[in-house]
């Protein structure tokens, strides 16, 4: 992939044109201000807290500690059969629907917005012979997230989502710290050779050599806003302060197929 400089280091609004620029990695981020109002944020925050009290929230094996409801496909990219992932998908939808049932459905609202703005079909990704993937992971990332990339053609070459040619990540923040919790994106799209039958390389905990000298952009999570970025670029989230608000979010990836239709999964 050729190296491109971002047109401008600022956040853009969600339009058809800007979505295309983001898919082509020509702008660093899109923000949808006030995607959710205060009542919607509070209701969703309460539903997440309810889920945590009822042991529906799980924790990733990575450091820093990240809580989640749902399942992440990328966690199954090595050492798992597809059937393991799709078993987790069934459980993930079950848990997720309990949380949504206590509140409202941001995934549905986002898919409707995305298809109306883009003019393309936007739907949950499917795998041949297995059915729907999971989309709409709910996370508590108050301690930050280590530097990584998310790009299915190089993370998960054996899945149908590998047919996409560009990948974005979107997150709605329903609670956010006053300080910290900043996401930094480095303009250095992931590019590794994939050998059939061999494990794809590690894409989490990337060291400084992967971002050296690259352009970078940071955004702040603001409750009620959705922020979208090109997840093929290395990105990381700084920790919030211990006594500050939690960083609570729901989101997924958006993959663009060669025919421009859009797939969502987490
Ligand atoms: O929470 C964020 O700002 C970004 C999280 C992330 O790594 C992702 O959505 O791919
Ligand atoms: Fe990510």
Could you tell me the residue ranges of all domains in the chain? Answer: 11-265
Report the pLDDT value the prediction gives residue 78, as an integer from 0 to 100: 80
Q: Whose CA is nearest to atom 2 of ligand 1?
A: 183
Is 235 a pocket residue for ligand 1 (Cβ < 6 Å)? yes
Ligand 1 centre from 170 Cα, in Å?
Answer: 7
Handedness of CA 133, 136, 140, 143 (dihedral sign): positive
pLDDT of residue 2: 59
Give the model confidence (pLDDT) of 241-254 as tens digits: 888 999 999 999 99
Buried b (16+ CB within 10 A) or exposed e, 50-71: ebeeeebbeebeeeeebbbbbb
Q: Quick check: CB of 251 below 6 Å from ligand 1?
A: yes
The protein residue whose alpha carbon is closest to atom 8 in ligand 1 is: 169
pLDDT surpasses 80 at 58? yes
- Among 28, 32, 169, residue to substitute to test ligand 1 (most atoms within 8 Å of Cβ): 169
Residue 131, classed as helix, strand or coil, is: strand
Q: Is the pLDDT reported for residue 229 higher than 70?
A: yes
Confidence of residue 62 (pLDDT cuts 50, 70, 90): confident
**Mean pLDDT, residues 30-55 taken together:** 97
The token duo for 144 is 């930050």
Which of 3-7, 14-18, 75-79, 224-228 comes out lowest in average pLDDT? Answer: 75-79
Q: Is the CB of 155 within 6 Å of ligand 1?
A: no
In 3D space, the residue among 229, 262, 179 whose CA is nearest the CA of residue 10 turns out to be 229
- How big is the CA angle at 54 (ends 150 and 238), to the nearest 5 degrees? 35
Of ligand 1's listed atoms, the one at least distance from the Cα of 170 is: 9
Give 41's contacts (C-beta < 8 A, 6+ positions apart): 174, 175, 223, 224
What spacing in Å lies between the alpha carbon of 6 and ligand 2's midpoint?
19
- The per-residue pLDDT for 1 is 59
Instruction: Give the Å distance between the CA of 29 and the centre of ligand 1.
Output: 12
Helices H / strands E in the chain, number of each = 5, 16
User: Has residue 233 got a pLDDT over 80?
Assistant: yes
**Minimum-distance ligand 1 atom for the alpha carbon of 227:** 3
In this prediction, residue 51 carries a pLDDT of 96
What are the start-end ranges of the E strands in 42-88? 58-59, 67-69
Q: Which atom of ligand 1 is nearest to the CA of 249?
A: 1
What is the model's pTM?
A: 0.96
Average pLDDT value for the chain: 95
Mean pLDDT for 212-229 is 97
Q: 198: pLDDT confidence band, cut at 50, 70 and 90?
A: confident
The CATH number that domain 11-265 falls under is 2.60.120.620
Query: How confident is the model over 133-161, as a mean pLDDT?
Result: 95
Nearest-CA residue for ligand 1 atom 3 is 183
252 C-alpha vs ligand 1 centroid, how far in Å? 9
* Cβ partners under 8 Å of residue 215, min gap 6: 5, 6, 9, 186, 187
Q: Which ligand has the minimum distance to the alpha carbon of residue 218?
A: 1
Look up residue 32 and give its two tokens. 């949808």
Q: What is the mean pLDDT of residues 92-103?
A: 98
pLDDT for res 96: 98
Q: What is the pLDDT of residue 227?
A: 98
Atom of ligand 1 at shortest distance to CA of 141? Answer: 1
């Amino acid at each position: 992939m050729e190296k491109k400089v971002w047109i401008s280091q600022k956040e853009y609004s969600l339009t058809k044109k800007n979505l295309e620029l983001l898919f082509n990695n020509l702008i660093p981020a899109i923000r949808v201000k006030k995607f959710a109002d205060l009542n919607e944020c509070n209701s969703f925050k309460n539903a997440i807290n309810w889920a945590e009290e009822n042991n529906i929230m799980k924790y990733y094996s990575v450091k820093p500690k990240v809580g989640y409801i749902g399942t992440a496909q990328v966690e199954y990219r090595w050492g798992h059969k597809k059937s393991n992932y799709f078993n987790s998908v069934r459980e993930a939808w079950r848990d997720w629907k309990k949380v949504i049932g206590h509140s409202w459905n941001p995934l549905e609202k986002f898919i409707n917005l995305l298809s109306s703005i883009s003019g393309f079909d936007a739907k949950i990704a499917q795998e041949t012979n297995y059915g729907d993937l999971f989309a709409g992971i709910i996370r508590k990332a108050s301690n930050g997230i280590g530097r990584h990339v998310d790009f299915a053609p190089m993370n998960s070459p054996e899945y149908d989502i590998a047919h996409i040619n560009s990948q974005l990540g979107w997150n709605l923040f329903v609670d956010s710290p006053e300080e910290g919790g900043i996401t930094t994106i480095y303009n250095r799209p992931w590019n590794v050779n994939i050998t059939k039958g061999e494990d794809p390389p590690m894409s989490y905990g990337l060291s400084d050599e992967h971002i050296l000298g690259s352009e970078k952009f940071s955004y702040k999570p603001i409750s009620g806003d959705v922020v979208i970025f090109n997840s093929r670029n290395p990105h990381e989230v700084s920790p919030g302060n211990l006594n500050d608000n939690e960083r609570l979010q729901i989101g997924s990836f958006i993959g663009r197929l060669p025919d421009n239709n859009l797939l969502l999964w987490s």
